[in-house]
Structure 1
């Protein structure tokens, strides 16, 4: 009788084979005799019996085959920690990339440069969802939405992007060991929000910000956005800045030929600060 391939039988049958084999060896039969009796290889019997002696009853139970959730990912846990810490404490230009804002492609290049691991943009997107960087409101990409501010004119030419913001708390989790340190020094890695610009085709450009209601922070983001897209932009913003708004207003006036900002006042994706919050 030729030995059967134990990997091709069902989990229940395989468990029964393990139990019979281990019981037979424990009763005093040789492994070669048990192998002939059950029609499996002697090496397999040896492995089953060794695992039983090491792990006990647990080694005999059937286990679900295939990839377990979280297993066999392209990036190890430490590599994921390094990547997410870098993305949430640095702009891509700070780590030598030719981008001003993070995108799927920019993140793929970051990983390849650091770890020599090639990721598709789809895989990168799945990682960003897994990490909580791309939440549902951003992926939904609701075009416009809300009531436009009558004081803001709607531009008729150029690329339109919709702004979102969302709290980000992933980095309050596990601490990094030395190999997981951020590529950027001098940062605490506890950004409070992510700013997003979403194109009509679903491209998401993002950057971590400590305060999405600060006009200076928004101005910095919009300046990077203009540099990256290299064209006239029509931006639909879902909230009003509550601090240093004059800085953003002045910047928009200076860039009137390059950017137009419309406020969709009912589309607020980030909770407004409470009265008395620190500025």
Structure 2
């Protein structure tokens, strides 16, 4: 029989092959060389099986755990790993006086070196992070002034009421916001002769641009770009154009920007409650 690599067999396949070899040895008294020809296993492998059968019986023919034990050769103890994971989850490096803003492999390497006196390679730190279930992620920006509890209450209580009222009146809900716009393009790469870096001419002073927009839960977007910052007059101009384009009544959800509470805006909205409400 052609020689086979026993290691490539399944666990069950190896167990059955061991049993067959041992039974052939007992019943027919075949030599190791003959058993190797019949089974395809290497003679040295067969000798090991027969030795195990003599000392441990047929129970010794079962599959034994292969490779290193779990946790062997690790640089950190399980307690140390748990402590490090806890530090990563609880806060950021600056809170424990490390010179990093976010958790990176160099930051975690410094944490391990400072607290446990073990200097790991960054590649090994990455393996530990993967084992712990951590992945590299871009942080989400959140305004410092945001009140998470108030946001949760609005989403769970106020917004369902607003949505029900809009459905009852046949109105639509839009979400409005304002942002500054920078008029230079993203830097791009292009080809040029070696040593002759192309020059992209840009103005030294930027013209202030702002965008005001509104989007519905269905993804319908209305926006306007204006020069300068958003003030009460520009906000009213946008609202006027918005109600002209949308035939239904509009409930516009906005943030706490001062412009939204301006007296002229409130006065403009006073007689238009059948068309728009903030």
Relative to the length of structure 1, the TM-score reads: 0.36
| Structure with greater contact order relative to length (CA < 8 Å, sep ≥ 6) | 1
Larger Rg over CA atoms: 2
Query: More helix per residue: 1 or 2?
Result: 2
Relative to the length of structure 2, the TM-score reads: 0.36
